[in-house]
């Protein structure tokens, strides 16, 4: 059977298909043309910029951190360049295996592994983390020969922070360390300009001047534009903007004096602050025990951290800034000034001291070494009469004591240029209402006032506060905020900006009142509790010993150092100024759990005054006696001239041969296009033994004070 074809229908179908195909082709070309117009015309500028960005990488160049120098130009913190072996965890498939293989080429200790793991916990996986620092030339050569076996592992040139004097002045200087996750979270709230200045930076100041002057020391981050291949490899440098190095800090601290005081403390715990009362400059700022800041800057290993953090001696506590102590009898001169200012007691009024004072059925005692007898204000200060000041405290009352002594700086921050200062406690009825929760605790009882007169009870202050108060008193009421930094130097322009402390409004003290108290303090050094220590001094100084309880004694219980643990023994304190006319130095110090103020604290004060006023450095024999608490009189042996004594032993960082400190004025990156980080490393691959020394004891409610 023959099929008949419908030619007309097939032609129509063919025409329809041809038209549809042509329309599809035209539509496709239309879409291509429109897309081409969008890409080449409408979005030309945007896409051209993105293409250029893909071709050009902008790399941050971290600035060199500013140095820190003492008043005589001794370098306390500096930088040097070295090479590190670094791993980017996100680029490594088997991290443990890679580290094991690297250990066959380069010495990687267990502490390096622990530090690396801890840094991984604080960082993101795409960040480059050091597994070994300060590579030697031989180690670098071995790795570079096998580099192709280790994707995600590279050598980088970095700037490292160094503290050449080791643990000397460590609490003052602080240290720098890697930015942890908590700090990164806090940095998200920074403004864009400040945050941009930390791009590429892995380290930041922590504690001490490194933290407080971070903005001055950090500098300005630079950048360089590098043309890259499709693989991301740098082909050539197109443009660069060098970083601006951080500013240098010139301190008021005399590091040789600082080191001497730390020697005199030895293994004992405590703090000393010495101030020039004429301008508020801090001459020595000591907290013992110290620690080696070089251990922290590249990430402290776990064992060293545990040893420092868990030590009963609390070596990481800055006792000069954050340690609060009952002032003991060093509080009595200020009580006397307050009594004279308010007219609460005539200086010639004689009080019969029978070595005990009864109030509200409770008896407050005196040290067994005290002598009974009639005493006026001057003699009460010289002999450190507890009974005289017990009765004075009751007559004045807690709120008047607070009103008169708070302007000296007690119970509030002094404003020293360090972060983290605590306020201490100068009690008042309002303070107790705010501090305690239960109604019976909020009430101030009259019996609590008695111990305030001898610097016990709720009184708790820092040595910075005591030294500042001493500086204010010996100048007749002139006040300054204590300052550690004298000048800030711009290393680009070499301009120096003086960091001065403007004089605060003076206290309205009567000259005759101040003179009476200061003369009594001179009597302490010449005929009183510290007279043996200051015998033969060629200058006239004033001082006051203090012995403060570390733990509360029960009523009627007698104190015996032999029967209590070492950390529960009394603290030894001393405040001093010299010379009597136009004082040049005021100081306050404490030796924790060392007993009588004249036995442990006063000998250290004598050596400090000899250094500042006479330019004398004690003999090695004398230093040993003071360190052991066996000095009972003036310095022994032949003193040396300060200028003849070498600087504290400088233990250079354990850097590979051929590596030198980075130039002070240079802000350039360490190795061309490789950005250098403002990092630091430990001063030694081996962890140094941390100094062992403690935490201040809690305030006591009552007890004897000497």
Residues serving a catalytic function are 329
Report long-range pairs for 635-638 (Cβ below 8 Å, ≥24 apart): 635/606, 635/607, 635/610
Q: Please state, in angstroms and rounded to a whole number, the distance separating the CA atoms of residues 502 and 108.
A: 53
Nearest to 485 by CA among 165, 78, 173: 173
Give 546's strand partners.
573
Cβ–Cβ < 8 Å for 692, 316: no
CA atoms within 13 A on the CB side of 239: 5
3-state DSSP: the chain helix, strand, coil percent, rounded to 5? 35, 20, 45
Handedness of CA 363, 366, 372, 377 (dihedral sign): negative
- The H or E element spanning position 266 is none
Q: Please state, in angstroms and rounded to a whole number, the distance separating the CA atoms of residues 635 and 266.
A: 17
Instruction: List Cα–Cα distances, 508 to 473, 524, 586, in angstroms.
Output: 11, 25, 20
Cβ–Cβ < 8 Å for 427, 399: no
Q: Please state, in angstroms and rounded to a whole number, the distance separating the CA atoms of residues 120 and 645.
A: 46
Cα 621 to chain centroid, rounded? 32
Torsion angle, alpha carbons of 281, 286, 290, 292, to 10: 20
Handedness of CA 45, 49, 54, 56 (dihedral sign): positive
Residues 6+ apart with CB under 8 A from 605: 533, 543, 574, 576, 587, 589
Q: Please state, in angstroms and rounded to a whole number, the distance separating the CA atoms of residues 374 and 388.
A: 10
DSSP 41: I
Output the six-digit token pair for 365. Answer: 């005692």
| Pairing label, strands 222-228, 56-61 | antiparallel
Q: Degrees (nearest 5) of the Cα angle 482, 290, 578?
A: 40
Cβ–Cβ < 8 Å for 680, 176: yes
């Amino acid at each position: 059977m023959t099929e008949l074809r419908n030619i007309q229908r097939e032609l129509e179908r063919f025409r329809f298909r041809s038209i549809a195909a042509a329309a599809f082709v035209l539509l496709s070309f239309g879409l291509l043309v429109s897309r081409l117009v969008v890409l080449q015309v409408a979005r030309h500028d945007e896409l051209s910029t993105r293409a250029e960005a893909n071709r050009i990488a902008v790399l941050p160049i971290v600035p060199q951190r500013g140095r820190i120098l003492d008043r005589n130009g001794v370098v306390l913190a500096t930088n040097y360049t070295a090479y590190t072996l670094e791993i980017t965890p996100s680029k490594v498939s088997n991290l443990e295996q890679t580290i094991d293989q690297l250990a066959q080429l380069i010495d990687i200790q267990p502490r390096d592994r622990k530090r690396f793991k801890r840094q991984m916990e604080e960082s993101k996986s795409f960040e480059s983390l050091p597994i070994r620092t300060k590579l030697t030339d031989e180690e670098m050569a071995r790795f570079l020969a096998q580099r192709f076996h280790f994707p995600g592992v590279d050598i980088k040139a970095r700037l490292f922070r160094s503290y050449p004097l080791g643990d000397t002045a460590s609490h003052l200087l602080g240290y720098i360390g890697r930015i942890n996750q908590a700090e990164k979270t806090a940095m998200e709230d920074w403004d864009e300009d400040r945050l941009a200045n930390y791009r590429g930076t892995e380290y930041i100041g922590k504690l001490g001047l490194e933290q407080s002057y971070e903005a001055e020391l950090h500098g300005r981050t630079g950048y360089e534009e590098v043309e890259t291949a499709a693989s991301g490899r740098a082909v050539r440098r197109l443009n660069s903007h060098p970083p601006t190095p951080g500013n240098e800090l010139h301190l008021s601290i005399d590091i040789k004096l600082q080191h001497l005081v730390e020697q005199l403390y030895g293994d004992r715990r405590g703090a000393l602050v010495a101030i020039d009362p004429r301008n508020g400059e801090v001459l020595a700022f000591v907290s013992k025990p110290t620690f080696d800041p070089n251990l922290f800057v590249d990430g402290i290993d776990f064992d060293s951290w545990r040893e420092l953090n868990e030590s009963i001696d609390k070596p990481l506590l800055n006792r000069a800034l954050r340690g609060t102590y009952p002032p003991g009898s060093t509080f009595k001169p200020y009580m006397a000034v307050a009594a004279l200012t308010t007219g609460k007691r005539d200086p010639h009024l004689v009080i019969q001291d029978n070595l005990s004072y009864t109030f509200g059925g409770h008896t407050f005692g005196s040290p067994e070494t005290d002598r009974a007898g009639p005493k006026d204000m001057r003699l009460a200060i010289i002999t450190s009469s507890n009974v005289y000041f017990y009765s004075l405290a009751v007559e004045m009352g807690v709120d008047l004591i607070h009103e008169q002594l708070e302007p000296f700086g007690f119970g509030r921050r002094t404003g020293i240029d360090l972060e983290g200062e605590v306020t201490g406690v100068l009690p008042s009825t309002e303070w107790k209402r705010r501090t305690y929760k239960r109604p019976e605790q909020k009430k101030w009882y009259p019996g609590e006032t008695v111990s305030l007169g001898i610097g016990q009870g709720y009184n708790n202050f820092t040595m910075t506060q005591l030294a500042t108060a001493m500086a204010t008193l010996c100048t007749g009421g002139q006040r300054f905020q204590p300052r550690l930094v004298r000048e800030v130097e711009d290393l680009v322009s070499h301009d120096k900006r003086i960091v001065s402390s403007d004089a605060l409004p003076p206290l309205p003290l009567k000259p005759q009142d101040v003179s009476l108290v200061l003369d009594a303090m001179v009597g302490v050094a010449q005929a009183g509790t510290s007279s043996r220590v200051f015998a033969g001094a060629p200058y006239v100084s004033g001082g006051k010993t203090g012995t403060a309880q570390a733990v509360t004694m029960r009523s009627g219980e007698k104190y015996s150092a032999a029967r209590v643990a070492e950390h529960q023994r009394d603290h030894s304190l001393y405040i001093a100024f010299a010379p009597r006319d136009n004082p040049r130095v005021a100081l306050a110090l404490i030796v924790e759990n060392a007993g009588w103020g004249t036995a442990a604290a006063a000998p250290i004060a004598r050596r400090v005054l000899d250094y500042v006023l006479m330019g004398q450095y004690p003999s090695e024999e004398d230093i040993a006696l003071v360190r052991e608490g066996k000095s009972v009189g003036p310095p022994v042996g032949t003193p040396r001239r300060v200028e003849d004594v070498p600087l504290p032993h400088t233990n250079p960082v354990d850097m590979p041969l051929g590596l030198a400190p980075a130039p002070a004025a240079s802000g350039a990156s360490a190795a061309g296009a490789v950005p250098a980080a403002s990092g630091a490393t430990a001063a030694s691959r081996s962890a140094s033994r941390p100094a062992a020394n403690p935490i201040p004891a809690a305030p006591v409610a009552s007890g004897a004070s000497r």
